[in-house]
Amino acid sequence: MQEKDATNLISALLPSQHDEPYHVPAAELGAYADGEADDVTRELVETHTQVCHECSEALEKLRVPAVPLPVVAARASYSRIVAFAVLAIGLVAIALLAFWAMRPRTAPASAGGDVKPAEDKNVPAPAPSASESPDVAVEKPDDNVSPSLRKAIQLAWTNQKLEAPAGLAELKGEQGRLLGGSSDGVPFALVSPVGRVVQSRTPALTWKPLEGAVGYTVLVVDETLEQVASSQQLTQTRWTVPVALKRGHTYSWQVTAIRDGQRITSPALPAPQAKFKVLEQSRMDEINRLKQSQPDYHLGLGVLYTQAGMLDEAEQEFEALVKESSSPTAAKLLQSLKAMKH
């Protein structure tokens, strides 16, 4: 009897075939999705969604938060900005590379098609007059040209004259007598180096032969007349100092000839000593830097050699300068140097 009554009760509670299907109200689904449903509603929703596909889908939709339209629009706008920025940077990079590849590497041609001649790095044009201040275009932008050398170049070019280096007159002494030879203390002439500055620490000494001499010996002394080098008996008229001399120091040398069993020395009193100086290290470094960076800079090298007292080397540079240019100032500087040597 009890089982029959329970069956009848369940049948009464279940919907009939013609009834509309039951669904959980949207308010109760929303409360469940937000975690605000009471225990009865929560039990109802959980039980019903297990058998009702439509209510289960509705609940899942309520659980997925909707993205606000403004946020989506903002993200899309930001993406477009980033893409545009990347494109702009790429276009700028391509333009720079094209400009670098197409830049001119030679002097631009004139309207008539003639190429503009390269600037003469040795001689400014025109030659300066007394009323104009020369633009020393010979001074190429180069760290190896010191301010003092630039000033010396400017002064030499403006005055059209070279200044003799300090101490050169004392070093030369009566150079003409030593080179020419005489009966007054110079029986035979000494050739080189006399009254000069040499770059090598082991210079070669040369002299004229003495008629009838069968051999020669050479002696080198320092400023205190202390012997620093001497030779064995030689038959030739050239000898290289075998020891490294000190830079920045001055030395004297003499040659003794052996003839008819007699020893004849040149120079001897009352003739002056034959002197030479070994170039200072700092000056040699400056010359080497300029020669390496601008080997054809004849004016700059000529002035630098003159300052160092290396007049033979300076003469070579000024001769090259005159040969390469038609400037009268270059010719006058060469004349000034030649006068300085004699």
Domain ranges of the chain: 22-66, 174-276
Its pTM stands at: 0.55
Distance CA 50, CA 182 (A): 136
303 pLDDT exceeds 80? yes
Distance CA 268, CA 273 (A): 8
At residue 288, the pLDDT reads 92
* pLDDT: which is higher, 74 or 326: 326
Q: If you average pLDDT over every residue of the chain, what do you get?
A: 76
Architecture of domain 174-276: Sandwich (2.60)
12 pLDDT exceeds 90? no
In this structure, of 134-138, 249-253, 338-342, the range with the lowest mean pLDDT score is 134-138
Q: Taking residues 167-189, what's their average pLDDT? A: 66
Q: Which of 287, 329, 285, 335 is nearest to 122 (CA)?
A: 329
Q: Is the dihedral of CA 124, 125, 128, 131 positive or negative?
A: negative
At residue 319, the pLDDT reads 92
Alpha carbon separation from 194 to 10, 189, 190, 216, 296 (Å, rounded): 140, 10, 7, 18, 28
* pLDDT: which is higher, 196 or 341: 196
pLDDT band at 227 (very low <50, low <70, confident <90, very high): very high
Q: Taking residues 277-304, what's their average pLDDT? A: 91
